[in-house]
Chain A
Amino acid sequence: MIWEELKNSLIMTEVEAESYEDVMRMIGGALVKDGYAKESYVGALIAREKEFPTGLDVDGIGVAIPHTDVSHVKKAGIAIGVLKKPVTFVQMGTDDETVEVKLVFMLSVVNPNAHIDQLQRIISIIQDTNVLNQILEVKDAEQIIEIIREKEKSL
């Protein structure tokens, strides 16, 4: 279950970011601080986002799922950021199509094939606009964890 592993310190609401680089520094920085990722993680996230963008337009809701090479990660984790105002990301699978992102699910992945179930749960959460809208409405970490817990009951 994802919700069991979510930590309040890694769920950030009203994140004030001006660019995707800011997003990486603020949310990625939290993963580094909490021991999930190495110091090199934030720089690697930014570099990878330039080459392989992670923005998604989920039926009109902008979501990004930044992640990077396992060599920058210490242990598997997920950080969630709700942005105070949307930040422009390029859409995954494109060079130049952009999406205004309000929700960030940042992943620290160690061994993807061992965590396929977790990855699929995260994707199921991201694909559910109902869940995304609920997360966008609430203001604190506890409520976000509760929303994800509810969603996972149906998975």
Chain B
Amino acid sequence: MKKKVIVACGGAVATSTIAANKVVELCKKNGIDVEICQIRISEIESNLPGTSLIVTTSKVKRDYGVPLITGMPFISGVGVEKTEAAILKVLQEA
């Protein structure tokens, strides 16, 4: 079954595009079928139904009731492997 992943940043311009692309590559490599929903932070709530995971590159204080992982390592390059492992874990269990 396709897993829905929300990838969000402030303006859905640059950083979420990078993060979304990384998530797609990661899932492809690991045989996980994903549907990416790349949006602004402010649009998360209305896109929640069916979502397995949220990846953001901005600070999010709210709890959406869905696992949330920061995609910042995809931008800074620091801690990428750990983040990838965390994303895989959530999606493999979803």
Contacts and interface: CB of A to CB of B under 8 A. Distances in A.
B85 interface: no
B26 to A, nearest CB: 14
Interface of B: 9-15, 17-18, 21, 41, 56-59, 70, 72, 74-78
Contacts of A69: 11, 13
Contacts of B77: 58, 123, 126-127
Interface of A: 48, 51-52, 56-59, 65, 67-70, 92-95, 107, 109, 112-113, 116, 119-120, 123, 126-127
B58 A119 contact: no
B32 to A, nearest CB: 20
Given A57-B76, A59-B78, A93-B57, A48 B18 contact: no
Contact of B18 (A51, A56, A68, A123): A123
Given A52-B11, A70-B13, A93 B58 contact: yes
Interface centre among B12, B18, B74, B76 (most CB of A within 10 A): B76
Contacts of A95: 59
18 contacts: A56-B76, A58-B77, A59-B78, A65-B14, A67-B13, A70-B13, A92-B58, A92-B72, A93-B59, A107-B14, A109-B14, A113-B17, A116-B17, A119-B17, A120-B18, A120-B21, A123-B77, A127-B76
Contacts of B41: 52
A142 B94 CA distance: 51
Contacts of B10: 48, 51-52
A2 B18 CA distance: 16
B59 A109 contact: no
Contacts of B15: 65, 92
B66 to A, nearest CB: 18
B70 A112 contact: no
Nearest to A107: B14
Contacts of B14: 65, 67, 107, 109, 112, 119
A56 B73 CA distance: 10
B59 A94 contact: yes
